[in-house]
Structure 1
Amino acid sequence: MPLRFAEPATEAYRFPLTIRHLLDSALTTASDRRIVYRDQGSWTYREFAGRVGRLASLLADLGAEQGMTIAVMDWDSHRYLEAYFAVPMMGAVLQTVNVRLPAPQVAYTLNHAKAEILLVHHDFFPLVEAVLPSLPGVKAVVAIMDGTQGALPAFAKGEYEALSAAASPDYPFEDFDENAVATTFYTTGTTGNPKGVCFTHRQLVLHTLACNAPFGAADGTGFAYKDVYMPLTPMFHVHAWGVPYVATMLGMTQVYPGRYEPEMLCRLHAQHKVTYSHCVPTILRMLLDAAEKTGTDVSGWTITVGGSALSPQLCAEGRRKGMRLIAGYGMSETGPLVSVARIRPGTEGDDAAEIQALTATVPAPLISARIVDDDMNDLPHDGQTRGELVLRAPWLTPCYTGDAKASETLWHGGWMHTQDIATIDPDGYIRIRDRLKDVIKTGGEWIDSIQLEELVATAEGVVEVAVVAMPDAKWGERPLAVVVVRPGAALTLETLNAPIEAAISQGTITRYAKLERFAVVEGLPRTSVGKIDKKLIRATHADNAQAGVA
């Protein structure tokens, strides 16, 4: 029997899943709610919609059209949020530029994306001036002075606020194919140039809806209209995890902090009673230190932590201060939502059990997850068997733009390959064990660097740790612990190995995990998005790692 299809009325509206429609209900139910920028001003949703129209109009006056790439180089701001909507709503493609990359890589991403108009904060004028000669495709640059005085740079066509004020708020946004590309950005890899990923309107709308679905936050509260939202993940990175779209769709009060300055973040939190944020562990550490210094009460602040593993020690410290911490897992290629921690039934109120639960996450709605071997054979969901995590969902990037070979590798077998080693238990909880490139193979045994880091982090005097594989003539590879030590602490191999030996005796880790060497550093190197840079650690310590202190 052939498939049956509905026969819509002649005048039935064929509703496209485009970003424009994320604004619809907010303008009806929250038109007087406010979007705040630092201590510089705030705008109602009604005013925000007008500014979105003005931005589209000024871009059109500069020659923007459907399909054109428009790049933004700004801190987290109301302007960035305006671009999140205005650029894709007019059918153009928003490129969120990673401003922390070296200048040659910034130039590479702009050229690769074929950016033609740039919106640039004054902090990045020197960077733009340096790379503009290598950007023949750029037709116009709009300067964002952000309240500062001074002459515009010679390369600017005008200033953002002045051009916006002169533009019409009534841009004629139209419907178009929901499968049109809405955004693009570049994810930094371990080798070579950054890889471009892109997302369509349909993908971003479905991702927004899934992020908002009440599928079991760790504290049982979720993310709601009543919350006050402040992003602490850069808006250039995976759409700030997609949360600004959720917050705007819900009509929430939003607070944009600009450049992340610890004392400013504390002031904004206290003044506006921020209830929800998201960040990497490094930013959480910074917040806790700033709260201690300023006396800021952070109790009741719900923070989703991702990007890298949330250590039990950091989690416990945040909880002692009254924070509600939720671990999440995702990737640039996944938009980023894949899974979020959920407290197991029957363990509510048990601090140790709840903290332990944050190391396992459950898939979001519409996520299909498997663990597979090298031949794509399914492995059992027994919580013990390790395999590569592969995924399907309607919002996963379909390719690396302009890199067919990498795209085929990403989607080998029709499933997105995460390059993460994981287990899945009978209840569907996913536990990330390690990155494929970070697993340590020693004496025929596999050691998960994440598990070893969690153990070493509990040793007396350790502030932070990264564990990497180092070549070894006898064993193939051996683990090296690179640690940041509390001032005044005397660290020894015996101290570091104490929790490892306890785990060995309990049978939770192989005896080959016992450390023979470690290195003390002032701080762990980070990537442009705040993750620990293990590639750089391996390169730095390749020649000088020795038994004992390296």
Structure 2
Amino acid sequence: MSAHAIQVTPSAYSYPLLIGQLLHSALANAAEQEIVYVDGRRHSYAQFARRVHQLAHALTRLGVQPGDTVAVMDWDSHRYLECFFAVPMLGAVLQTVNVRLSDEQIQYTLNHAGARVLLVNSDFVEPVARFALDTVQTRVLLADEAMALPAGYAGEYEALLADCPEQFEFTEFDENTRATTFYTTGTTGLPKGVYFSHRQLVLHTLAVCNALALAPQQGSFHRGDVYMPLTPMFHVHAWGMPYIATMAGVKQVYPGRYIPERILKLVQRERVSFSHCVPTILSMVLNHPSAGETDLRGWKLIIGGSALTTALVKQALERGIDLFTGYGMSETCPILTLAQIDPADSELDGEAQIALRVKTGRSVPLVALRTVDPEMQTLPRDGHSAGEIVVRAPWLTQGYLHNADASEELWHGGWLHTQDIGHVDPRGYLQVTDRLKDVIKTGGEWVSSLELEELIGRHPDVAEVAVIGVPDAKWGERPLAFVVARSGIEPDADSIRSFLRGFADAGRISRYGVPDEVRFVGELPRTSVGKLNKRALREHNR
């Protein structure tokens, strides 16, 4: 012990930062607040807490011990939220399974994580039956409607809970105990497992809640909000927001599977005011026929996963939606930055405000963020000196599960390497300009694929766009644009190229940045969480 350490009274309580501690204020201040599921089921926070205790009993009866991994395959539901708490509160590890991966990849992640108990939504019973699972000993059915229990299942979730007492004696343990694990959805190689401790999840909850609450108006989250996730709960804990919403004691709405018409009905019926999603989900919602009949004013939305475009911000603002960027990655738990607007900037004209909303954002509390050159030297915060973004924060994954080499590469030099390229301006706004593997070098100049996508996306005929670099004998690489035209529009490649040349003439982009070819497609390939899959585009065009 350090000679300067504080003196600890023997009877003093040390208060370990455990996930269960997030429930104290919610139960004290909002015990009757609602948690709503899409099928109309409603639980108060007091009932939610009792169900967490019942789930702990049920899992213990099924043989779950501290350190065991409990995997969940479900859509966004009240059940998932109960697992977010009960499983780690037992000292076990919650594996949130990405149900949008291929069957082969899901099987791999379950075996790699060593899952012992598997909770399975009825939608996935059939594929799970085909899996060769090495460690799973027990399966539990999650069903919205009554159905026969499949062979080999220990029971149905609600029936198991109903048979258990409403009080469980949770014991305390080291706050650095692993609480969760899930697998990254990268576009190369096998999925990589990341993991987070109780301490990390509690600190992420506190810091991001602090950042959202510090906003006096735009981009704020407060006790009067109604929260609904539109980023899957299997993906980075739904960006950590269910923990924040629960700690704050706000009304929560869980939509099950993401169906645009259902989302719109829930927003209207439950008066949802705060969500988060990737751009694709929001575009699907705003372009659904029912959107025109739904009052979306006052809905606050964090956009992440892919770059937020000017066109999408304009479309959202016209509907009264407060849209702004959040940034992070699976390895960062995930939130690192938020593009909130200061009160002094609220008087800016529309274009200037939009320019702030599409920025990658400013660091939330406790995040140390730098842009660096290849020698890890910090670049100036001048708004144009671009380098790799490296970060430190108390909630970053400490490595990849069972993968020491990749872990060392991730943490080379003592900073977590995002593999994103960006620059920081004097006010602290980060702007990601590309991924290391996606930047295009043509004619001896670097061209940002993200910037080209942003500019092409402003064309009135363009619904979606992706830009990749393709080999070129003369120039090394040339940008190739894939465009999804707006419904009812006859696409015109020359019009889009002429539109881009206007930005080149104005000095916004290099003349080398104007693609020689614009290719129209019906849809763009996506990863399992809705991100553009540029690897698939590159492989298709080899």
Indicate the TM-score class for this superposition, using the shorter chain for normalisation.
Answer: over 0.9
Give CA deviations for 1:113-134 in whole Å, capped at 9, x if unaligned: 0000001100000111011xx2
Q: Distance in 2 between matches of 1:500 and 1:219?
A: 36
Q: CA deviation at 1:136?
A: 2.3
Could you tell me which residue of structure 2 aligns to residue 486 of structure 1? 486
Q: CA deviation at 1:492?
A: 3.2
Structure 1 residues 229-308: aligned runs within 5 Å: 229-290=227-288, 292-293=290-291, 295-308=293-306
Could you tell me which residue of structure 2 aligns to residue 145 of structure 1? 143
Q: 1:501 to 1:280 in 2, by over 3 A?
A: same
In percent, how many aligned pairs have the same letter? Answer: 52
Q: Distance in 2 between matches of 1:218 and 1:291?
A: 34
Structure 1 residues 523-542: aligned runs within 5 Å: 523-542=523-542
Contact kept, 8 Å, 2:187 with 2:533, in 1: the verdict is no
Q: 1:503 to 1:346 in 2, by over 3 A?
A: farther
Give CA deviations for 1:493-518 in whole Å, capped at 9, x if unaligned: 43112332222122221111011012
* 1:198 and 2:186 matched: no
Q: 1:72 to 1:161 in 2, by over 3 A?
A: same
Give CA deviations for 1:194-251 in whole Å, capped at 9, x if unaligned: 0000000000000000110146559535111111111111000000000000000011
Could you tell me which residue of structure 2 aligns to residue 64 of structure 1? 64
Q: 1:182 to 1:227 in 2, by over 3 A?
A: same
Q: Distance in 1 between matches of 2:342 and 2:471?
A: 40
Letter in 2 for 1:474: K
What SS does the aligned partner of 1:298 have?
coil
Could you tell me which residue of structure 2 aligns to residue 545 of structure 1? none
Q: CA deviation at 1:487?
A: 3.7
Letter in 2 for 1:260: Y
Q: Distance in 1 between matches of 2:373 and 2:340?
A: 27
Could you tell me which residue of structure 1 aligns to residue 383 of structure 2? 383
Structure 1 residues 48-127: aligned runs within 5 Å: 48-127=48-127
Give CA deviations for 1:94-115 in whole Å, capped at 9, x if unaligned: 0000001001100100000000
Contact kept, 8 Å, 1:263 with 1:294, in 2: the verdict is no
Q: Which of 181, 185, 188 in structure 2 is aligned with 1:188?
A: 185
Q: 1:33 to 1:244 in 2, by over 3 A?
A: same
Structure 1 residues 143-542: aligned runs within 5 Å: 143-147=141-145, 149-214=146-211, 217=215, 219-220=217-218, 222-290=220-288, 292-293=290-291, 295-343=293-341, 346-349=344-347, 350-360=349-359, 361-542=361-542
Contact kept, 8 Å, 2:219 with 2:341, in 1: the verdict is no
Gaps of 5+ in 1: 543-550
Gaps of 5+ in 2: none
Letter in 2 for 1:108: Y
Q: CA deviation at 1:62?
A: 0.5
TM-score by length of 2: 0.97
Q: CA deviation at 1:486?
A: 2.2
Q: CA deviation at 1:10?
A: 2.1
Could you tell me which residue of structure 2 aligns to residue 548 of structure 1? none
Q: Distance in 1 between matches of 2:463 and 2:67?
A: 48
Q: CA deviation at 1:345?
A: 5.9
What SS does the aligned partner of 2:83 have?
helix
Q: CA deviation at 1:92?
A: 0.1
Q: CA deviation at 1:329?
A: 0.6
Q: Distance in 2 between matches of 1:162 and 1:485?
A: 49
Q: Distance in 1 between matches of 2:25 and 2:242?
A: 15
Q: CA deviation at 1:359?
A: 2.5
Contact kept, 8 Å, 1:344 with 1:357, in 2: the verdict is no
Q: 1:289 to 1:77 in 2, by over 3 A?
A: same
Letter in 1 for 2:461: G
Letter in 1 for 2:244: V
Letter in 1 for 2:150: P
Q: Distance in 2 between matches of 1:248 and 1:387?
A: 37
Give CA deviations for 1:286-328 in whole Å, capped at 9, x if unaligned: 2212364561111111111111111111110110001111211
Contact kept, 8 Å, 1:70 with 1:118, in 2: the verdict is yes
Q: CA deviation at 1:344?
A: 5.3
Q: 1:45 to 1:291 in 2, by over 3 A?
A: farther
Could you tell me which residue of structure 2 aligns to residue 27 of structure 1? 27
Q: CA deviation at 1:358?
A: 1.6
Q: Distance in 2 between matches of 1:255 and 1:89?
A: 23
TM-score by length of 1: 0.96
Q: Distance in 2 between matches of 1:393 and 1:309?
A: 23
Q: Distance in 2 between matches of 1:345 and 1:268?
A: 31
Q: 1:283 to 1:472 in 2, by over 3 A?
A: same
Contact kept, 8 Å, 2:369 with 2:392, in 1: the verdict is yes
Q: Distance in 2 between matches of 1:441 and 1:237?
A: 32
Letter in 2 for 1:359: V
Q: CA deviation at 1:462?
A: 1.2
Between stretches 288-297 and 33-42, larger displacement belongs to 288-297
Give CA deviations for 1:372-412 in whole Å, capped at 9, x if unaligned: 11111111111111100000000000001111111111000
Contact kept, 8 Å, 1:217 with 1:341, in 2: the verdict is no
Q: Distance in 1 between matches of 2:428 and 2:70?
A: 40
What SS does the aligned partner of 2:203 have?
helix
How many residues matched? Answer: 538
What SS does the aligned partner of 1:213 have?
helix
Q: Distance in 2 between matches of 1:450 and 1:90?
A: 44
Contact kept, 8 Å, 1:219 with 1:324, in 2: the verdict is no
Q: 1:460 to 1:224 in 2, by over 3 A?
A: closer
Contact kept, 8 Å, 1:121 with 1:145, in 2: the verdict is yes
Q: CA deviation at 1:150?
A: 2.6
Contact kept, 8 Å, 1:421 with 1:435, in 2: the verdict is yes
Give CA deviations for 1:132-186 in whole Å, capped at 9, x if unaligned: xx21211100011212x33111021111000110012211111110000000000
Between stretches 340-349 and 417-426, larger displacement belongs to 340-349
Between stretches 253-262 and 15-24, larger displacement belongs to 253-262
Q: Distance in 1 between matches of 2:45 and 2:436?
A: 45
Q: CA deviation at 1:80?
A: 0.1
Q: Distance in 2 between matches of 1:497 and 1:173?
A: 63
Q: Distance in 2 between matches of 1:295 and 1:167?
A: 45
